[in-house]
Chain A
């Protein structure tokens, strides 16, 4: 029986289904959450993800307003890496309607850690600064019976750290998921272009200064690369990701994804540190009276 593929897309969503008799694989993308960044395309081991501009999808009924991605059904193998690497939580994968990311279960791909720690005891009543500053509206502050409860939709948090920096009471601790560097070569920028500023999902990371040049505020940048996808000139915008915060894992697929997301050197660095930590662990085991191999 031919494997059946169903592909439904509009400006707001994209859905790809692979149906094998009674087994159904579903990969869905919420385009309202997708910011058109580089992460899923770079991480995909099968080159199944293509970055598309609104003009590429012009024949859809309601074309998306910003750059987004599409999945090629002849290449996708429903491994779920895109779902995990998307720090905005725009991708969801399920098998027979149950959320399922096969590469996580087998530890072929690490869990990406979205770290937002909140010490609610420090929160005074009626302070809603974090809720107000979160650019993606992921924080909800509740006051119930004199107690403060802060709910964060962590899966969708890309870790810009705005909440931490803005919190007046030092109640929030976060950690960037992606570390890196960003640089604008203004001399290459076309006159009056502000594509990168418009594309950036985090406000105030990129801005146009009075002399018409693009300014970068590295502090809040999440190095997702949405700006680079939008930039019309090759080389005008440089991003170098150096590390990704993730649960430990030993997987060739991750090493390759990491290499594509960062660079060969950074990938090698992570491998070296893993080796070092393994050596450290074994020394610790010895010290703690573990068996010594002769």
Chain B
């Protein structure tokens, strides 16, 4: 398609009601009327649901009937439906990149419900900004890249095991990475599973063995993920294998070394209730069955070396080893941890010896556990006759973990039934609960079974627990909210159902993979309903409890689901990636004349080559499209497709055409700050409507010129929103932006700008509240400074800005 002349550009604007979501606040008809007055807009219409089939049909029809060559949809966030509409216009024969969205739901109607008039004005301006950009859009062709048909599954719990097995069965090579010595995860620690009461390791063990035997699966255990680079279909993964001091290929798992070892240390797999030898496996069914020497405890007597004999599997000189893998897709299945309330001795845990957690109870009642399946007290080794279970310890607690940990009610029911089955009327069992949640197949029946067996359920939160110093019994003070009176109970053992919390290392993993975590610390899915297994990074998927606490069937289902999602990529010879890459204008590039290479130096991915005497060159397949090089180029020789200087400046122009001094201009990165603003809307956190946001892929794209231009246009305030320092989706584009902006802020201050008028803020995708607060603060400050002073300052700045923008 040849470039149409400016006068030939024909834009269609489609404004969505989104039922009452937009139309309930914004006067949609008014917005449509306004859109019709904008230059190049030849058609504008409203629709109740533009994303629905009839809505999309209307767009396609209009493209044909009115010969449209640009389409603007004013509706929800582009993070939601940009893809839908791009496909829609493509079906009508238009290049998908000739489409632009105005976010008048998350950023407007949902964020300003109490100010319908201002919201309507804002919606109009957002449409104006979108139209301004649409006018300058250019058709782009998607880039095709080959796919490596292998997958990496991180975490060998039940979710990861199922993901790995399914992918392997489909014929893909799978690397299963496990941090610990053995795969199996938490499920391998459990005694029985609810509601069927079948033995946990008996059903998981065979699966673990299947994984070990599968020709397509390679288990990499006792290893850490160090680095992940690349993109969908082409990830480069660096893994560090920690030394076991026992050679994997030589150890036969015979176990002759362990009995001769003199040293015992706490077995964390047994929740430290039991011990293991300094050379041992954490549990007998471990997969891979390779022994490990814990050098923190080993005294190097070499008795194990003698026992191992001619097998020669022990190597005290083993070193950590880094390996590199190439994979096309990654599944994260890192699970959860159990909260141990030792800090502050919640309910006496860590202080009173007969207060334990449920996972510890699990190890006690397990026949193969450290006590041989005898439930005994730590204080005297005797069997407790009165056992009290306390629910929601840490969970559903605004001061700790506000969410529900999902499976605690059910495992407590299981424990009560097990106790009753083992000891019958010889044990009294009490459960203190807030609400009992038994909402899956067979769960409610399981609850009834516990009641019928004589378990006492007391609804109420426990206020405190005291220990009788002589008997070491525990006196529980609680309120029975059903009777409405305080109660006191003497128990011989207390079991705490503590919260399931994000696995240790989740933060680091999120950073390595560039995926986001919610406020609860669990990994965030792309969409809570429609993309529950996807992450914002294409080619990386989630499975199991790493996304939020889940029970076994749910985790298994997710593991299989994530495998299917990964297969959608791996099964194709190539994937298309967005063509929003950087392009160098060889005419303008000064690397031909002087030694420059700034772009190559600043590129987070090393995707630019700048050989002396030649213009810099971008390798499109390696370019992730952050735009950092564009902002850094001293001669503006680089353009980022779909986010050109001209397009962004046109958006700024449109945003600041009327009453610029009353406005806050925001430039936000797609992944964090823009998503944070979306969340503020979704969560209905209201903030003042005088903010206008321009979206860029990465804050690294934010050119100095954008800020200068905005102040030149008379902006009241300017905000740059970025990911938190180490959360950047383009490694460190945000840090490069920060350096650039800090220097600019100093210069502007020197020229007389009130410092508060230019802010750089880190807002994550989970920080809707923070975004709303920042805008509230900035709006208040704007009022405080006042229109007159802003005008005066801008006048004073103008000559300096003109000089700095000279020649552009």
Neighbouring A residues of B360 by C-beta, 8 Å = 1
Q: Say whether, besides A21-B370, A81-B299, A251-B303, A2 and B260 are in contact (CB < 8 Å).
A: no
Q: How far is the CA of A129 from the CA of B353 in the complex (A)?
A: 54
Neighbouring B residues of A19 by C-beta, 8 Å = 378
Choose one: A21, A103, A254; the contact of B378 (CB below 8 Å).
A21
Neighbouring B residues of A252 by C-beta, 8 Å = 300-302, 305
The answer to whether B261 has its CB under 8 Å from any CB of chain A is yes
Q: How far is the CA of A81 from the CA of B299 in the complex (A)?
A: 10
Neighbouring B residues of A148 by C-beta, 8 Å = none
Chain B, residue nearest A46 (CB): B299
Choose one: A3, A22, A79, A105; the contact of B272 (CB below 8 Å).
A3
Q: How far is the CA of A253 from the CA of B305 in the complex (A)?
A: 12
Neighbouring B residues of A88 by C-beta, 8 Å = none
Chain A, residue nearest B296 (CB): A77
Q: How far is the CA of A79 from the CA of B277 in the complex (A)?
A: 11
Q: Say whether, besides A2-B342, A106-B261, A22 and B300 are in contact (CB < 8 Å).
A: no
The answer to whether B274 has its CB under 8 Å from any CB of chain A is yes
Number of A-B contacts (CB under 8 A): 84
Q: Which of A72-125 contact B (CB under 8 A)?
A: 77-81, 102-103, 105-109
The answer to whether A60 has its CB under 8 Å from any CB of chain B is no
Q: Say whether, besides A1-B272, A2-B272, A108 and B299 are in contact (CB < 8 Å).
A: yes
Chain A, residue nearest B271 (CB): A1
Q: Say whether, besides A1-B356, A21-B370, A105-B262, A79 and B273 are in contact (CB < 8 Å).
A: no
Greatest chain A CB density within 10 A among B263, B265, B353 is at B263
Q: How far is the CA of A23 from the CA of B263 in the complex (A)?
A: 14
Neighbouring B residues of A21 by C-beta, 8 Å = 272-274, 370-371, 378
Q: Say whether, besides A1-B272, A22-B381, A106-B261, A253 and B340 are in contact (CB < 8 Å).
A: no
The answer to whether A256 has its CB under 8 Å from any CB of chain B is yes
A256, B300: Cβ atoms under 8 Å? yes
A102, B264: Cβ atoms under 8 Å? yes
Least CB distance, A45 to chain B, in whole angstroms: 4
A20, B262: Cβ atoms under 8 Å? no
A103, B262: Cβ atoms under 8 Å? yes
The answer to whether B376 has its CB under 8 Å from any CB of chain A is yes
Binary per-residue interface labels of chain A (228-264) against chain B in the complex, 1 for a CB within 8 Å, 0 otherwise? 0000000000000000000000111110100000000
Chain A, residue nearest B278 (CB): A77
Q: Say whether, besides A1-B272, A2-B342, A106 and B299 are in contact (CB < 8 Å).
A: no
Greatest chain B CB density within 10 A among A20, A46, A108, A253 is at A20
**Chain B interface: which size bin?**
20 to 34
Choose one: A45, A81, A102, A251; the contact of B302 (CB below 8 Å).
A251
Binary per-residue interface labels of chain B (275-286) against chain A in the complex, 1 for a CB within 8 Å, 0 otherwise? 100100000000
Binary per-residue interface labels of chain A (1-31) against chain B in the complex, 1 for a CB within 8 Å, 0 otherwise? 1111000000000000001111100000000
Greatest chain B CB density within 10 A among A107, A108, A254 is at A108
The answer to whether B255 has its CB under 8 Å from any CB of chain A is no
A77, B299: Cβ atoms under 8 Å? yes
Q: How far is the CA of A103 from the CA of B342 in the complex (A)?
A: 33
A79, B263: Cβ atoms under 8 Å? yes
Choose one: A2, A22, A77; the contact of B265 (CB below 8 Å).
A77
The answer to whether B266 has its CB under 8 Å from any CB of chain A is yes
Q: How far is the CA of A113 from the CA of B370 in the complex (A)?
A: 36
Q: Say whether, besides A1-B273, A21-B273, A251-B303, A102 and B263 are in contact (CB < 8 Å).
A: yes
Choose one: B272, B299, B302, B306; the contact of A20 (CB below 8 Å).
B272
Q: Say whether, besides A22-B378, A253-B301, A108 and B262 are in contact (CB < 8 Å).
A: yes
Q: How far is the CA of A2 from the CA of B349 in the complex (A)?
A: 10
The answer to whether B454 has its CB under 8 Å from any CB of chain A is no
Binary per-residue interface labels of chain A (57-83) against chain B in the complex, 1 for a CB within 8 Å, 0 otherwise? 000000000000000000001111100
Q: Say whether, besides A1-B357, A79-B262, A106 and B272 are in contact (CB < 8 Å).
A: no
Chain B, residue nearest A18 (CB): B266
Count of chain A residues with a beta carbon within 8 Å of a chain B beta carbon: 29
Main secondary structure of the interface of A (DSSP, over half): loop
A108, B274: Cβ atoms under 8 Å? no
Chain B, residue nearest A101 (CB): B262
Neighbouring B residues of A78 by C-beta, 8 Å = 264
Greatest chain A CB density within 10 A among B260, B272, B301 is at B301
The answer to whether B66 has its CB under 8 Å from any CB of chain A is no
Choose one: A3, A250, A253; the contact of B266 (CB below 8 Å).
A3
The answer to whether B297 has its CB under 8 Å from any CB of chain A is yes
A108, B271: Cβ atoms under 8 Å? no
Q: How far is the CA of A55 from the CA of B273 in the complex (A)?
A: 38
Q: How far is the CA of A105 from the CA of B277 in the complex (A)?
A: 14
Q: How far is the CA of A219 from the CA of B370 in the complex (A)?
A: 53
Q: How far is the CA of A105 from the CA of B262 in the complex (A)?
A: 8
Choose one: A4, A22, A106; the contact of B262 (CB below 8 Å).
A106
Chain B, residue nearest A80 (CB): B262
B306, A250: Cβ atoms under 8 Å? yes
B301, A254: Cβ atoms under 8 Å? yes
Q: Which of B241-269 contact A (CB under 8 A)?
A: 260-266
Q: How far is the CA of A2 from the CA of B339 in the complex (A)?
A: 12
The answer to whether B521 has its CB under 8 Å from any CB of chain A is no
Chain A, residue nearest B261 (CB): A106
B301, A20: Cβ atoms under 8 Å? no
The answer to whether B288 has its CB under 8 Å from any CB of chain A is no
Chain A, residue nearest B349 (CB): A1
Neighbouring B residues of A251 by C-beta, 8 Å = 301-303
Q: Say whether, besides A251-B301, A251-B302, A254-B301, A23 and B356 are in contact (CB < 8 Å).
A: no
Q: How far is the CA of A254 from the CA of B303 in the complex (A)?
A: 11
Neighbouring A residues of B263 by C-beta, 8 Å = 77, 79, 102
The answer to whether B597 has its CB under 8 Å from any CB of chain A is no
Q: How far is the CA of A235 from the CA of B378 in the complex (A)?
A: 51
The answer to whether B350 has its CB under 8 Å from any CB of chain A is yes
Greatest chain A CB density within 10 A among B265, B271, B303 is at B303
Q: Which of A169-224 contact B (CB under 8 A)?
A: none
Q: How far is the CA of A102 from the CA of B263 in the complex (A)?
A: 7
Q: How far is the CA of A251 from the CA of B272 in the complex (A)?
A: 29
Least CB distance, A210 to chain B, in whole angstroms: 49
Q: How far is the CA of A201 from the CA of B737 in the complex (A)?
A: 71
Q: How far is the CA of A14 from the CA of B687 in the complex (A)?
A: 64
Neighbouring B residues of A2 by C-beta, 8 Å = 272, 340, 342, 350
A45, B378: Cβ atoms under 8 Å? no
Q: How far is the CA of A78 from the CA of B299 in the complex (A)?
A: 11
Q: How far is the CA of A250 from the CA of B302 in the complex (A)?
A: 9
A45, B299: Cβ atoms under 8 Å? yes
Least CB distance, A139 to chain B, in whole angstroms: 33
Q: How far is the CA of A250 from the CA of B300 in the complex (A)?
A: 12
Chain B, residue nearest A21 (CB): B273
Q: Say whether, besides A21-B378, A77-B263, A106-B261, A253 and B300 are in contact (CB < 8 Å).
A: yes
Q: How far is the CA of A106 from the CA of B353 in the complex (A)?
A: 32
Chain A, residue nearest B381 (CB): A22
Least CB distance, B757 to chain A, in whole angstroms: 52
Least CB distance, B509 to chain A, in whole angstroms: 25
Q: How far is the CA of A45 from the CA of B356 in the complex (A)?
A: 34
Least CB distance, A211 to chain B, in whole angstroms: 47
Q: How far is the CA of A270 from the CA of B394 in the complex (A)?
A: 59
Least CB distance, B468 to chain A, in whole angstroms: 19
Q: How far is the CA of A22 from the CA of B378 in the complex (A)?
A: 5
Neighbouring A residues of B302 by C-beta, 8 Å = 251-253
Least CB distance, B534 to chain A, in whole angstroms: 37
What are 23 inter-chain pairs, A to B, with CB distance below 8 A?
A1-B271, A1-B272, A1-B273, A1-B357, A20-B272, A20-B273, A20-B274, A20-B370, A21-B272, A21-B274, A22-B376, A23-B370, A77-B297, A77-B299, A79-B262, A102-B263, A105-B262, A106-B301, A108-B262, A109-B301, A251-B303, A252-B301, A256-B300
Beyond A77-B265, A253-B301: 5 further Cβ-contacts under 8 Å? Answer: A4-B353, A21-B274, A22-B371, A78-B264, A252-B302
Q: Which residues of B contact A (CB under 8 A)?
A: 260-266, 271-275, 278, 297, 299-303, 305-306, 340, 342, 350, 353, 356-357, 360, 370-371, 376, 378, 381
Closest 6 CB pairs of A and B: A108-B301, A253-B301, A252-B302, A106-B262, A45-B299, A102-B262
